[in-house]
């Protein structure tokens, strides 16, 4: 029986940390949000509703030209891990007096890149971009039609982040509690991810990994499986978890079995279970699965222990689901930094994800709503 520990409010817990407490790696993108009146554009470019795809720069430019002139458009910072870092900073300290985290990725030396850096710095995140002179800054167009959205990306410079780029940044890991890596990043920078795993092992840092997208399994499932093997915490939605189970040849009857089977597999492989530890973060094999809609999110940890948290219905209407997954990770990792129990971490993630769906894109107001003061 776990001893109940009093939950310390997030901001009280955060002031006890040295910064940066979290360093994150991903594909920094500039997001353009477009509200569509019909799905004509999706049909023309063969795009799936609620899908993700990558297009070459030429195709992206064609799509930009084709955007209906009357449609509402907004620009904001994007990229999965970069979104998570901005939300996490906002949850911990929207005054930006302390930089909770550092974000690393690559951009071009173009206007898109300078706009992106300025916007991310304004959100209080310490960015350490590698600069590429020959490639454009990555772009993601979010085509929003009702409550569904289709993401179209061109990674550009974000697709190249080398060990050389990493060494140039000269990051210090002395105070870092979490290294967070998005799945998209390892499709081009697995060597950097392996170096981060090495640093994490040396300094007892938590590696948190996001499966990120269904389509990357097609060409990169060995790299994804390798990172799942190294990570302490793995995030994914039901479709991504199914793809992971297939990649690892894990047989299941129901999708809700998958995180339990993965947790069990991890314990057999790593054999790190420490029965005497009171800390749920002492073991590897923590799997967090979201299922969308009205289905509860699930966390599995330890020796098959689990909690389910039903989705929190937002107070305002849902306008855009972009970034809901990134927000859930931000709320969850905030809980990890505050040393909360698994259920509190997941509840925090669900609450933040619910709030983000009421805003277009990952846009954050200057002050945090009272009910999100975690």
pLDDT tens, position by position, 293-312: 889 999 999 999 999 999 88
Tens digits of per-residue pLDDT, 194-218? 999 999 999 999 999 999 988 899 9
Tens digits of per-residue pLDDT, 39-80? 899 999 999 888 888 898 899 989 989 998 888 788 899 999
pLDDT value for 283: 82
In degrees to the nearest 10, what's the CA dihedral of 245, 250, 255, 258?
-80
Residue 29's SS3 state is strand
- The torsion region of residue 355 among left (phi > 0), alpha (psi -120 to 50) and beta comes to alpha
Tens digits of per-residue pLDDT, 208-254? 999 998 889 999 999 999 999 999 999 999 999 999 999 999 999 99
Sheet-wide strand order for 101-108: 126-132, 101-108, 22-25, 178-182, 206-210, 233-237, 286-290, 297-301, 305-309
User: Is residue 115 over pLDDT 90?
Assistant: yes
- Closest by CA position to 243, among listed 268, 284, 212: 212
- Beta strand 73-78 pairing with 297-301: unpaired
How distant, in Å, are the alpha carbons of 201, 276, 320 from that of 306? 26, 18, 29
Q: What is the maximum span of the chain, computed from C-alpha positions, in angstroms? A: 63
CATH number of the 20-28+78-140+153-372 domain:
3.40.1190.20
Q: Write out the catalytic residue numbers.
A: 326
Give me the residue spans of the domains in the chain: 20-28+78-140+153-372
Q: Tell me if 363 sits within 8 A of 320, measured CB to CB.
A: no
């Amino acid at each position: 029986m776990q001893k109940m520990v009093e939950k310390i409010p997030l901001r009280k817990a955060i002031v006890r940390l040295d910064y940066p407490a979290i360093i994150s790696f991903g594909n920094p993108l500039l997001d353009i949000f477009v509200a569509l009146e019909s799905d004509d554009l999706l049909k023309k470019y063969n795009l799936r509703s609620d899908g993700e795809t990558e297009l070459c720069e030429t195709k992206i430019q064609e799509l930009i030209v084709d955007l209906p002139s009357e449609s509402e458009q907004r620009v904001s910072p994007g990229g999965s891990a970069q979104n998570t870092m901005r939300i996490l900073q906002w949850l911990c300290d929207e005054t930006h007096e302390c930089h909770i985290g550092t974000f690393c990725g690559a951009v071009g030396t173009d206007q898109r890149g300078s706009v992106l850096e300025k916007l991310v710095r304004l959100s209080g995140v310490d960015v350490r971009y590698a600069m590429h002179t020959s490639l454009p800054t990555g772009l993601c167009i979010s085509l929003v039609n009702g409550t569904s959205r289709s993401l179209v990306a061109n990674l550009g410079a974000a697709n190249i982040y080398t060990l050389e780029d990493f060494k140039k940044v000269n990051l210090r890991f002395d105070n870092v509690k979490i290294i967070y890596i998005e799945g998209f990043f390892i499709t081009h920078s697995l060597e950097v991810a392996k170096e981060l795993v090495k640093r994490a092992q040396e300094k007892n840092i938590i590696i948190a990994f996001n499966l990120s997208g269904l389509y990357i399994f097609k060409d990169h499932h060995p790299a994804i499986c390798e990172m799942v093997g190294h990570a302490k915490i793995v995030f994914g939605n039901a479709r991504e978890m199914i793809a992971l189970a297939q990649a690892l040849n894990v047989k299941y009857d129901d999708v809700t079995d998958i995180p339990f089977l993965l947790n069990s597999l991890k314990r057999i492989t790593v054999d790190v279970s420490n029965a005497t530890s009171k800390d749920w973060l002492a073991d590897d094999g923590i799997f967090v699965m979201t299922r969308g809609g009205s289905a509860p999110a699930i966390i599995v940890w330890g020796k098959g222990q689990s909690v389910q948290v039903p989705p929190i219905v937002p107070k305002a209407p849902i306008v855009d689901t972009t970034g809901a997954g990134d927000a859930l990770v931000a709320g969850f990792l905030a809980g990890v930094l505050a040393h909360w129990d698994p259920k509190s971490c997941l509840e925090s993630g669900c609450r933040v994800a619910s709030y983000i769906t009421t805003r277009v894109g990952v846009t954050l107001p200057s002050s945090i709503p009272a009910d999100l003061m975690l």
